[in-house]
């Protein structure tokens, strides 16, 4: 039966992902009655992370809970909800959260690092690339990054405010294969499950249509800062980055194993892969800000799937910043590729034709070996 085949596919999705972003909602981590960390639950989640890592999968955690934990720690009363009070709570609660993750992951010999991001960090190209490179490096070093919004400096207009969308942005940034949104609902229903007894869970969504969006409004659940509406926005962001997304309940222990066992959840399935989506974005969406002309040796390297090194660049045109899109041409003026450049135009001019051991002297800092890394490069055929 088709639905059986679909179930089997859904079950293997998480198991086969090489990079997984898990977003954990406040309502799971913090006990409602006491405002304390739900340690038993966190221990079980950490055990699951160790299991995924044992299978060779990389895991990034996007964890909420700082504000809720900090409010209790600082003894804030329920009516004390001014932005600065919430920010003070975040500052205090984030340490508690980070400490708990470090302690529990250490028991499994897993190293952990904290990354706090603001909306700005993910919107400005330069900071986006910095954050992306840091996360990439942490993952290569075998670390589990624990991410939260930098609530203490984010003001109302420049805040995500919910970690669903932050999770989706992180999934896009890290080219993750799967984003898991763990909260206190099973997934997306075709009607409000709290009011209609025969409301059915939708197991798989391939396209977020207006009808699907209308269901989010009707699902009637409110949890953390983001309801189903922000989860759908997050799913849409992740899908366009080629990342499958699953909304699942974290109310049980071992929620990731439950997803793998085919327990109720909603999968949003992307049509392409993260790398293909990223390359399509580079090739199609971004407007090139400049041009690099390269020599025949570099042209061969590119055709062989390698990165573009400064030594192969013979001319730089235009004014661009680090992370901007540029066109790569050969000496005959034929467009060969498009990519995101690792240096701004001024720096690029300084290091063109040079080897990496000279960069420090030319730039004043060590810099990257590549002018355009191959992951950020798309060849234009023909």
Give the interface with ligand GLU as residue ranges (CB under 6 A): 26, 64-68, 148-149, 151, 162-163, 224-226
Q: How far is the CB of 219 from ligand GLU (least distance, A)?
A: 17
Q: In the 3-class helix/strand/coil scheme, how is 154-215 assigned residue by residue?
A: CCHHHCCCCHHHHHHHHHHHCCCCEEEEEECCCCCECCCCCCCCCCCECCEECCCCHHHHHH
Of the two residues 11 and 80, which places its CB atom closer to ligand GLU in the complex? 80
CA–CA gap between residue 314 and residue 293 (Å, rounded): 6
Closest of 177, 178, 200 to residue 187, by C-alpha:
200
Q: How far is the CB of 119 from ligand GLU (least distance, A)?
A: 12
CA–CA gap between residue 155 and residue 248 (Å, rounded): 30
302 in helix, strand or coil?
helix
CA–CA gap between residue 275 and residue 293 (Å, rounded): 25
Q: How far is the CB of 318 from ligand GLU (least distance, A)?
A: 39
Of the two residues 227 and 274, which places its CB atom closer to ligand GLU in the complex? 227
Of the two residues 66 and 340, which places its CB atom closer to ligand GLU in the complex? 66
Of the two residues 73 and 281, which places its CB atom closer to ligand GLU in the complex? 73
Of the two residues 118 and 307, which places its CB atom closer to ligand GLU in the complex? 118
Place of tokens 């660049």: 313
371: enclosing H helix or E strand: none
Q: How far is the CB of 164 from ligand GLU (least distance, A)?
A: 6
Of the two residues 159 and 289, which places its CB atom closer to ligand GLU in the complex? 159
CA–CA gap between residue 328 and residue 334 (Å, rounded): 9
* Structure tokens belonging to residue 39: 């340690």
CA–CA gap between residue 113 and residue 143 (Å, rounded): 7
Q: How far is the CB of 279 from ligand GLU (least distance, A)?
A: 31
54 in helix, strand or coil?
helix
Place of tokens 């909602």: 25
Closest of 185, 188, 167 to residue 268, by C-alpha:
188
Q: How far is the CB of 292 from ligand GLU (least distance, A)?
A: 40
Q: How far is the CB of 25 from ligand GLU (least distance, A)?
A: 6
Closest of 319, 313, 310 to residue 288, by C-alpha:
319
Tell me the H-state helices in the chain.
2-16, 26-29, 39-54, 66-74, 83-106, 119-123, 125-140, 163-173, 210-218, 228-240, 255-260, 274-280, 296-303, 345-351, 359-363
Q: How far is the CB of 248 from ligand GLU (least distance, A)?
A: 16
Of the two residues 66 and 258, which places its CB atom closer to ligand GLU in the complex? 66
Of the two residues 90 and 176, which places its CB atom closer to ligand GLU in the complex? 90
């Amino acid at each position: 039966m088709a639905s059986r085949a679909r179930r089997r596919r859904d079950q293997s999705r998480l198991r086969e992902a090489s990079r997984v972003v898990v977003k954990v909602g406040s309502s799971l981590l913090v006990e409602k009655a006491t405002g304390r960390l739900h340690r038993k639950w966190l221990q079980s989640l950490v055990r699951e992370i160790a299991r995924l890592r044992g299978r060779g999968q990389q895991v990034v955690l996007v964890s909420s809970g700082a504000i809720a934990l900090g409010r209790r720690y600082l003894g804030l009363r329920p009516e004390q909800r001014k932005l600065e009070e919430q920010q003070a709570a975040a500052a205090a609660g984030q340490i508690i959260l980070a400490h708990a993750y470090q302690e529990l992951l250490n028991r499994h010999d897993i190293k952990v690092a904290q990354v706090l991001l603001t909306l700005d960090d993910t919107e400005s190209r330069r900071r986006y690339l910095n954050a992306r490179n840091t996360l990439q490096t942490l993952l290569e070093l075998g670390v589990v990054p624990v991410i939260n919004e930098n609530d203490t400096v984010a003001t109302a207009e420049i805040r995500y405010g919910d970690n669903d969308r932050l999770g989706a942005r992180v999934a896009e940034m890290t080219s993750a294969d799967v984003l898991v949104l763990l909260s206190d609902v099973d997934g997306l229903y075709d009607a409000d499950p709290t009011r209609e007894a025969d409301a059915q869970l939708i197991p798989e969504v391939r396209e977020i249509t207006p009808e699907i969006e209308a269901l989010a409004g009707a699902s009637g659940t409110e949890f953390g800062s983001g309801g189903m509406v922000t989860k759908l926005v997050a799913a849409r962001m992740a899908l366009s980055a080629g990342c499958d997304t699953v909304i699942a309940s974290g109310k049980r222990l071992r929620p990731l194993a439950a997803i793998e066992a085919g327990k109720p959840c909603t999968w949003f399935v992307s049509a392409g892969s993260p790398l293909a989506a990223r390359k399509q974005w580079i090739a199609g969406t971004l407007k090139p800000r400049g041009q690099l002309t390269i020599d025949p040796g570099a042209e061969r390297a590119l055709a062989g799937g390698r990165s573009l090194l400064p030594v192969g660049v013979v001319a730089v045109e235009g004014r661009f910043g680090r992370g901007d899109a540029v066109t790569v041409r050969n000496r005959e003026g034929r467009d060969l590729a498009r990519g995101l450049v690792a240096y701004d135009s001024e720096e690029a001019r300084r290091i063109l034709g040079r080897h990496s051991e000279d960069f420090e002297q030319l730039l004043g800092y060590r810099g990257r070996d590549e002018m355009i890394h191959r992951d950020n490069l798309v060849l234009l055929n023909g």
